[in-house]
């Protein structure tokens, strides 16, 4: 019998709002684990340090990770 | 005339060693900015909290982000 576990997700709700990479100071990706059964993606905004939980399923995140890749190739050329 | 800027990158050198998503507690992506001209990707390891700088160009990172996506679709099904 599995013991009941305390669920400690950081995000209570996620935003599907799109986020511009230029306004992001840091992007944290926390893989699913025993303490939280889902991937969590947290963007810290440059402007006010606000932390915003993003929906990993959203287009916003797909675009953001694409922007990271693009920026990378731009910088390395 | 631009003022000279202090470069404050977090990573001095990056590892191209592959990293298993299961052993990662947190993945931080810091976009290029005025303080550091390159994208920085920092993995915090579960085992000892060690922080490891990963090379954004490396296969390891590509695989890691792929694993995040896979995990996500697994969880949502």
DSSP chain B: -PPP-----S-SS-B-S---GGGEEEEEEE---SS-SS-EEEEEETTT--EEEE-TTSHHHHHHHHHHHHHHHHHH-
| Residue-level pLDDT at A77 | 42
Please give, rounded to a whole number of angstroms, the shortest distance from the CA of B69 to a CA of chain A.
Answer: 8
Chain B interface mutation, best of A14, A22, A29, A42, highest count of B Cβ atoms under 10 Å: A29
From first to last of its 77 residues, chain B has per-residue pLDDT tens of 555 667 789 998 888 778 888 899 999 999 988 888 888 999 999 999 999 998 887 777 777 777 776 665 555 44
Domain range summary for chain A, segments of one domain joined by +: 21-76
pLDDT over 60 at A75, yes or no? no
pLDDT in tens, A1-54: 555 667 789 998 888 778 888 899 999 999 988 888 888 999 999 999 999 998
Does A31 sit within 8 Å of B30, measured CB to CB? no
The class of domain B21-76 in CATH terms is mainly beta
Residue A71's pLDDT band (boundaries 50, 70, 90)? low
ipTM of the shown complex: 0.77
């Amino acid at each position: 019998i599995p013991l009941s576990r305390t669920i400690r997700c950081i995000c209570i709700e996620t935003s599907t709002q799109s986020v511009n990479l230029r306004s992001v100071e840091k992007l944290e990706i926390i893989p699913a684990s025993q303490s939280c059964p889902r991937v969590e993606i947290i963007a810290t905004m440059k402007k006010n340090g606000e932390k915003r939980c993003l929906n990993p399923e959203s287009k916003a995140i797909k675009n953001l990770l694409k922007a990271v890749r693009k920026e990378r190739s731009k910088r390395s050329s």
